[in-house]
Amino acid sequence: MPYTVDILPEGQQFTAAADESLLTAAERAGMHLPFGCRNGSCGACRARLLDGQLEYPDPPQALSEMESAAGLVLLCQAQARSKLRLQMADRCAVAGQTLRTLPARIVSRRKLTTDVLELVLELPRTERLDYLPGQYLDILLKGGGRRSFSIANAPRADGRIELHLRLVADGRFTPFAFAQLQERSLLRFEAPLGSFFLRDHAGPAILVAGGTGLAPLKAMIESELGARRDLHLYWGARSRPDLYLHDWVRQRVQGGSLRYTPVLSEPGPDGAWNGATGLVHSVVAADYPDLSGHDVYMSGPPAMIQAGKRSFFAQGLDPERLYYDSFDYAFATWGGASAS
């Protein structure tokens, strides 16, 4: 039998069959809910269960025990077993967005490192994409495939879109992009996607990037330049060359409310690096033993996200004030560059 699902605070309602995910049921009803991977690994579709019973066919990877204990659930995996009441406090920001399929031309390509490529896309003159800094797009491939990449810039007056692609040797798209995509090549993409964006909170925010997980955080930083909000960016990479926009970040620190701590996991034996070393989440934990008054935004490999959750929750971070974008096509060790 179908079950009724109420979404608060808007009061919207849909019905869900027992054998379908809540996300699928909501989409079937024409509702636009935030989502990412659809396989339970990214956490973009988190909601709070206020009342009712649900089950998962398989334990969701993106939810920690503390998040589950706090009542958080993943809509892309959860199936209703009774009438449900769910709360999605941040859904208002994306509820009015229209998911669009658009063409784009590559107007610039440059290698930021040997395995990170920057692409700048230009839309047709009559088109413009409305998105929130931190969201991502899906490049549509021939044969029905798609690959997800975070938008690496805040909305610009010229409407151009910046992407950071990390080369995945056995990937379906990035080897082609590195070897064959040239300026003036055409792509099609679907956007805006995801619920990774800065919330309108007054308190300080810690931004934690692993490799090309910098991309969505860069867009957030651009959107906040000149604002008074205290932001502290931690960027974890393997070696100094992997900090591919190190100088760009340092320039944004000057005279503003942004602080920056780069962290290298393999700084090399020559002693040239005098900054922080180790795993990026461990450096954050050492600098902020009490996280009870902070928002934390994490973007990068799943291993980094999971390690950060365990550490940050133990240091007082409210599970509902942790926001993350988990890059599936990433190194298991988050010192290196990652890609979505």
pLDDT in tens, 122-153: 999 999 999 999 999 999 998 888 899 999 99
Mean pLDDT by 10 residues, the chain (340 residues): 89 93 92 77 85 92 85 94 88 74 97 97 96 94 90 97 95 93 96 88 91 97 85 96 96 86 91 92 97 95 92 93 75 33
Identity of the amino acid at 315: Q
DSSP state for residue 173 in the 8-state scheme: S
Q: What is the pTM of this model?
A: 0.84
Give φ, ψ of 57 to 5 degrees.
Answer: -60, -40
Residue 322 and residue 315: Cα distance in Å, rounded?
12
Give φ, ψ of 218 to 5 degrees.
Answer: -60, -45
Question: Would you state the pLDDT for residue 330?
Answer: 38
Question: Would you state the pLDDT for residue 90?
Answer: 67
Question: Would you state the pLDDT for residue 51?
Answer: 96
Question: Would you state the pLDDT for residue 333?
Answer: 31
Question: Would you state the pLDDT for residue 93?
Answer: 66
Using only C-alpha atoms, what is the Rg of the chain? Answer: 20
**What is the DSSP track for 185-233?**
-EEEEEEEE-S-S----SS-EEEEEEGGGHHHHHHHHHHHTT----EEE
Question: Would you state the pLDDT for residue 213?
Answer: 96
Residue 205 and residue 284: Cα distance in Å, rounded?
12
**Four-point Cα dihedral 297, 257, 267, 118, nearest 10:** 70
